[in-house]
């Protein structure tokens, strides 16, 4: 493995998000080094490597065989995540995998088992968690500004993807639930700082593509707390959440996909006080990469349990899918 104080990264998949945000974040990070780019298409790998000034490119297998690659970023269709996470782990590479990392709870357990067996880290790529606006929200909650937390409402929706887009491909794990609802579900776990007890979920299926184009869920937490989740394709763009407490209320201006050059606002109401809190621009992809590299370099002293977080997220999503299929509330203990 690389002994320098930089983590050498290989990239599996030349996706839109890889080229728009992930690879630039790797290049900008002082703790990471872009070593190699891999694609199933040699031409695509070459073009992507040339775009970012990377000297090395090849197949996925060649990336995993590269001794200068310490970690990989996996930006492949959802149905390929498990295979390549496990293969990367067996090649002794740390893994940053796009969300949802796993399409089933069992898949998540297999991936984590492989990573633990080979002593490598596995992080699911929820970049929004690294944006400082959420740390500010947590600070407000911890200060008691909102009182006792009661309700979370989160929505992530956007216009219909173009025909042929991976989001509309059922065989590759597309759909609004996998692609968008995952964000507010994960955000609710962050806000309540707890794991759900149950979920009631309904998906609106598109008969032509076989994917869900809308998802609605009520996620129940202990103490009568609840999260109301919605996602959709083919509607207006909305990327936000709000939190209601016994003493106040806040909502985000833009919560999940935030361009690195724009400030955002938190709107807070507490008692007679109304505030607009401006959070300065931040590159949450780069901040996530920096954090992942730091944890890798810490080795056994690492403080973040990425693997358990991924497992908890996969368990919640799986319960939601079962809820839709069986048309009933599903308790998460049923999955154990």
Residues serving a catalytic function are: 99
Within 8 A by CB and 6+ apart from 22, the residues are: 11, 73, 75, 125, 285
Task: Count CB neighbours of 211 within 10 A.
Answer: 23
- The H-assigned helical ranges of the chain are 16-17, 23-28, 42-51, 60-65, 81-90, 105-117, 132-142, 176, 182-192, 284-298, 306-326
Q: 231 near 184, Cβ under 8 Å? A: yes
> Is 232 in a helix, a strand, or coil?
strand
For residue 100, whether the previous peptide bond is cis, meaning omega lies within 30 degrees of 0, is yes
What secondary structure does DSSP assign to 16-47, as a single string?
HHIIIIIHHHHHH-TTEEEEEEE-SSHHHHHH
Pull the structure tokens for residue 187: 């955000």
């Amino acid at each position: 493995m690389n002994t320098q104080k930089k983590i050498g990264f290989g990239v599996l998949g030349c996706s839109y998000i890889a080229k728009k945000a992930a690879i630039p974040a790797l290049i900008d990070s002082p703790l990471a080094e872009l070593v190699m780019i891999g694609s199933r298409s040699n031409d695509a790998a070459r073009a992507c490597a040339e775009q970012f000034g990377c000297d090395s490119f090849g197949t996925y297998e060649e990336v995993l065989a590269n001794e200068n690659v310490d970690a990989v970023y996996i930006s492949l269709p959802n149905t390929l995540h498990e295979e390549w996470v496990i293969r990367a782990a067996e090649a002794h590479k740390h893994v940053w995998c796009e969300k949802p990392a796993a399409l089933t709870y069992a898949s998540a357990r297999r991936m984590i088992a492989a990573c633990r067996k080979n002593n490598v880290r596995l992080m699911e790529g929820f970049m929004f968690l690294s944006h400082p606006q959420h740390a500010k929200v947590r600070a407000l909650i911890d200060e008691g500004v909102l009182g006792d937390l009661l309700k979370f409402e989160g929505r992530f929706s956007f216009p219909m993807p173009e025909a042929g887009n991976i989001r509309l491909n059922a065989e590759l794990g597309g759909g609004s639930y996998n692609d968008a609802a995952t964000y507010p579900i994960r955000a609710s776990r962050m806000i309540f700082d707890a794991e759900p007890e149950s979920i009631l979920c309904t998906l609106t299926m598109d008969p032509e593509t076989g994917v869900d184009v809308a998802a609605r869920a009520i996620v129940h937490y202990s103490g009568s707390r609840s999260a109301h989740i919605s996602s959709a394709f083919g509607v207006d763009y909305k990327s936000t959440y709000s939190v209601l407490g016994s003493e106040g209320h806040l909502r985000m201006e833009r919560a999940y996909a935030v361009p690195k050059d724009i400030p955002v606002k938190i709107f807070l109401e507490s008692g007679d006080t109304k505030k607009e809190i401006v959070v300065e621009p931040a590159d949450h992809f780069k901040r996530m990469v920096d954090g992942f590299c730091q944890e890798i370099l810490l080795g056994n002293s690492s403080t973040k349990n990425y693997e358990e977080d991924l497992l908890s997220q996969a368990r919640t999503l799986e319960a939601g899918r079962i809820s839709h299929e069986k048309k009933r509330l599903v308790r998460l203990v049923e999955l154990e």
